[in-house]
Amino acid sequence: MANSNFSIMKRTILLIMAATFIAACSPTPKDVAASKIDSIFSELFPSDEPGAAVLVLQGDEIILDKGYGIADLESGAAIDGNTFFNIASVSKQFTAVAVLQLAEQGKLSLEDNVKSYFPEYKADFYEKIQIKHLLSHSSGIPDARDRSDKERNLIATEEIVMQYLPDLDFLHFEPGTEYEYINPTFLVVASIVEKVSGMPFVEYVKENIFIPAGMEQTLFFEADKEDLIPNMAHGYEYEDVSNMPEERTASEIDKETKKEWYEYDYGEVNFFATKADGGMYTSTHEFILWEKALRNHTVLGKEMLNAAHTPQIKVSGSKFSSYQNRPNTWYGYGWFIEPATETSPLKIYHTGDNGGFKILAARYPESETLVLVFANRADLNRYAVMQQIEEALGL
């Protein structure tokens, strides 16, 4: 009888051990999601073409952190989480936080008007345009940048871009009533930060945002200091050369797709070098630190961050701008917002387009999820990819 009981106990222990081993070896839901997302990007980006760094964070756990393709076709450097991309208009949220910090400190009000900071701006309508309108793309100011000199546009600085503003004599709509996505108004915001803080914009952001967040290597593009950008990716476009002579396609060109890639960033793209609207270089690894600084209110208090993430102007149906003009879309201060519905969670995000760079940074506060797709090729369909990632994660 004792031997029988011992045998039963032994079999039970073996079964428990087997079940534990099987459970340990079974993929978790997060493993399955990571595998699905990896498959999406492995299919999109061949290893010998420009590609993307992809990172998915849930809570404090990294679900996927992987690079696809080449950062620099000349050197052959592969993309990974330490590759630095121009994040284009995703930079705007940093500019927004800079001015929101000053508002939080009582050094300015979001209802201050533009005329009070720029008395040289001649039109009376500047008295009706407030800082909050600049931050939400609802100022009515048109994008009337001088595009007559192509060569000058390729190296344009903030000063060149803002030259049209003092003599501007019309608005597209009454401030605060419509959405029109334009870049120059964020340069105005940066100039206000300089006037109020007494510091150059780049220095202010470094001391009050990058350093507190721990983003030690993140920086803004400067034309004569490209060598300071670590692990720098270049942006790329491609030319369809299907009808070109075969001798031109022998080495650099993929013989099936007939794509010839060419660099498409500073020196090839208009207004690439301006900072506050789209000039930041960072990596997915450093951007995680930004996400954590926002969550922990290291760089901005809860009230102001909530204001930035609250719908301020409706994007959907705008007659003035097509950028991100989709159903259920709003703009806050430096972020796009898609409020929660019965079928989708609250989404706070921004996209970026600058030359060959295509950037997506999306936050899902309810599940503490961050999705980053930093691409250095201009043919990425970000919204389609974002929907695929949401489906894989079960968001």
What is the tens place of the pLDDT at every residue in 230-289? Answer: 999 999 999 865 444 444 333 444 445 567 999 999 999 999 999 999 999 999 999 999
**Once rounded to an integer, what is the mean pLDDT over residues 59-83?**
97
- 172 contacts 307 by C-beta, under 8 angstroms: no
- Interatomic CA distance for residues 86 and 275, integer angstroms: 10
Say if 327 falls within a structural domain. Answer: yes
Residue 344 or 52, more confident: 52
pLDDT computed for residue 331 by the predictor: 98
The pLDDT of residue 154 is above 80:
yes
pLDDT computed for residue 252 by the predictor: 45
**Once rounded to an integer, what is the mean pLDDT over residues 134-163?**
96
End-to-end CA distance of the chain: 56
pLDDT computed for residue 244 by the predictor: 42
Q: What are phi and psi of 56, to 5 degrees?
A: -125, 125
Tokens of 325: 């003009």
- Nearest-10 crossing angle of helices 184-197, 92-104: 40
CATH number of the domain bearing residue 367: 3.40.710.10
Provide the domain limits for residue 368. Answer: 29-393
The pLDDT of residue 133 is above 60:
yes
- Which candidate, 203, 206, 369, 393, places its Cα nearest to that of 291? 369
Say if 21 falls within a structural domain. Answer: no
Contacts of residues 151-160 at CB distance under 8 Å and 24 or more positions apart, as own/partner, are: 153/270, 153/271, 154/266, 154/267, 154/268, 154/269, 154/270, 154/272, 155/223, 155/266, 155/267, 155/273, 156/270, 156/271, 156/273, 156/274, 157/273, 157/274, 158/187, 158/190, 158/191, 158/274, 158/275, 158/276
The pLDDT of residue 179 is above 90:
yes
Say if 154 falls within a structural domain. Answer: yes
Length of the chain as a residue count: 395
Give just the sign of the alpha carbon dihedral 265, 266, 268, 272: positive
Strands across the sheet with 85-86, in order? 85-86, 280-282, 219-220
Q: Which residues lie closer than 8 Å to 35 by C-beta, 6 or more apart?
A: 27
pLDDT computed for residue 85 by the predictor: 98
- Which candidate, 264, 277, 281, places its Cα nearest to that of 157? 277
Q: Which residues lie closer than 8 Å to 189 by C-beta, 6 or more apart?
A: 95, 96, 98, 99, 131, 134, 135, 276
pLDDT computed for residue 59 by the predictor: 95
pLDDT computed for residue 257 by the predictor: 56
For residue 27, what pLDDT band results from cuts at 50, 70 and 90?
Answer: confident
Say if 87 falls within a structural domain. Answer: yes
| Across 6-10, 188-192, 194-198, least confident range | 6-10
pLDDT computed for residue 258 by the predictor: 62
Strands across the sheet with 369-375, in order? 61-68, 52-58, 369-375, 357-364, 347-354, 336-338, 330-331, 313-314
Strand partners, 56: 64, 371
Q: How many domains does the chain have?
A: 1
pLDDT computed for residue 6 by the predictor: 54
pLDDT computed for residue 29 by the predictor: 83
Say if 310 falls within a structural domain. Answer: yes
- Interatomic CA distance for residues 34 and 27, integer angstroms: 10
The pLDDT of residue 22 is above 90:
no
- 208 contacts 98 by C-beta, under 8 angstroms: yes
**pLDDT, averaged across the chain:** 92
For residue 1, what pLDDT band results from cuts at 50, 70 and 90?
Answer: low
**Once rounded to an integer, what is the mean pLDDT over residues 218-226?**
94
Amino acid type, 332: G
pLDDT per position as a tens digit, 281-336 = 999 999 999 999 999 999 999 999 999 999 999 999 999 999 999 999 999 999 99
Q: What are phi and psi of 351, to 5 degrees?
A: -115, 160
Say if 17 falls within a structural domain. Answer: no
Say if 70 falls within a structural domain. Answer: yes
pLDDT computed for residue 28 by the predictor: 86
Say if 345 falls within a structural domain. Answer: yes
Strands 347-354 and 336-338: antiparallel
